[in-house]
Amino acid sequence: MNDFESRWKIGAEAARRADSPMPSEQAPLGFATRVVAQWQAQPEVSLPALWQWFALRMLGVMAVILLTLAAYGALSWSSDVPLPPPVENAVGDSLWLL
């Protein structure tokens, strides 16, 4: 019995001095099975629901763009700078170059 205790102390001391083992590159046992089971448990997204989700997001983006352009237009009306000539005049004046 004395031999067991001395071996136990030597083994415990060696375990304390040993470096921690490197983490394994492999996934834990059953990880892939759990991931697939969780994926299959979720309800499938239908195409109309997906379109609705994208449409609502795009509606929000368009509203932000519209409000930004409206604010820019409202602020630019207050300036006293004359408006540039219409594009038709510029095209008509440059027609002889074609």
Q: What is the CA radius of gyration of the chain?
A: 37
Cα separation, 17 vs 34, in Å, equals 36
Domains in the chain: boundaries: 51-77
- What tens digit of pLDDT does each residue of 29-64 get? 888 899 999 988 988 888 999 999 999 999 999 999
Q: How confident is the model over 9-31, as pLDDT tens digits?
A: 888 888 888 766 666 678 788 88
% of the chain exceeding 90 in pLDDT: 26
- pTM, to two decimals: 0.40
Report the distance separating Cα 94 and Cα 91, nearest Å: 5
